[in-house]
Chain A
Amino acid sequence: MSETPTTQPRPERVTLFATCMVDQLAPGVGESTIEVLEYLGLEVDFLRDQTCCAQPAFNSGFRSEAFPVAKRFVELFEQVEGPIVVPSGSCAAMVRNYYRDLFRDDPDLVERAARVGDRLYEFTEFIDRYFGNDAISGRLSDTATYHKCCHLIRELGVDRPPLELLENVDGLEMTPLERADVCCGFGGAFSVKMPDISSAILNEKLDNIEATGANNVIAADTGCIVQMQGGLRRRGSKVQVVHIAEILAKSISRTAQTGIRTG
């Protein structure tokens, strides 16, 4: 049950920012996000010109390349009103917490970015804020554990909502993950530039996941998902890594009632 009463007036229409990873690698996550939002009674728009929030270049230190891409993001999303929903804690954090640093030589742009950021929410954060974590009564029989994505918990402070949403899925047996809040080792370009360190951190995470005995590990950020699924596959594990939007979509879908399979 959601502890904080939702006193915010509910919007009727939202805009989805899919993120470049979802858009290109895991579009099913985007479709699931839309399904869930529509289930909640919302109209969802997808701006077809969207690309990326520029986090990859920013995190790698190439701010001169990140700047125009981020500026383009602001220019695009400031044209629409209402909440912007993002199925990624790290991308939401990029806009809300780091655009002001990226744009710091341009106070006007900082202001414009802040206005976009003020109405931009990570997916589970959005549901918690406007609908409450018991708003989705789905059903799905399977076993799972939950990994806490670093940017979601630390940059955005969103810790309980995903767990509460999952607790409300009837038939979904959740096992707590040991060291759930320890990084999976992704870190964007870090995972490619320092693969040995990234993988050492990942292996500890995967050991803990396998120790739960769950069939699935659920996460809220596609970067973590790709890191963990790539690692699990490499060690021959059958454990599936799934985005929370996909779980929730499956739980309310009239067709799939048992099992989780990524499309």
Chain B
Amino acid sequence: MTDRAKFISGVTTSLGHSEVHTPSPEPATAFSDSDEDAKLKAAAALAVATDRANELIEQMAKAAENTGWQVHRVSNPEDAAELIADICRGYDATSVLRSTHGVLTDIPLDVAVRDTGVTIDVTESTDPGDTTDSSEREEAKKAAFSADVGITGVDYAIAETGTVVLHPRKGLSRLVSLAPPAHIAVLRPGEVLESLDELFAMERADFLSGTLSGSMNLISGPSKTGDIEGTIVTGIHGPLEVHLVILGNS
């Protein structure tokens, strides 16, 4: 018997059975929900995100503030770029790292930042190949650890909790939103899901269709700890400050 078989057979015995029983459907878990149901839930989540976009943006703004984001509202792309450049200048930033989220090129961000004399780099390897090698990865890590500000868009946001959701992938590194002492996330209406239920419905649908990403990060405010005398302090390992720039309808 392999170790696995022995281990699991021990569990079966502890359960008082002689063989593994397939579970009958349990309503509390979504495990036996059909693929069809999962797709419908995901579609419904996206529909709500669009139909109630403005309402959800307001909810998101409030929840984000409650959980430690500094929330900024701008109404056009130029203002968004200027604001972000200002924030970077406020940190005396010399180098800034950003992801390849569409919104970050839809606004004149690179120009606005470079105009203030700050270098802005993109988290995407310059190698046109599909895979990265270890020296590229080492470079990427160094870049993230030395950047003063990390800027991303969002893959989703969650109104219930004030959360920004990122799926690391080519063009969106794991560290760009973690290593620099400040993180700026740019959000547009239509990107906000109502609650954790909708997010995980989307994730489940992705899984069932085989498109689940390698990892996912839910970010709800700055890095914090209360481990010393129960006093909350931000920036123990991740960003000390996080900014949510909400780009309103243009």
Determine whether A and B are in direct contact in the complex, meaning some CB atoms lie less than 8 angstroms apart.
Answer: no
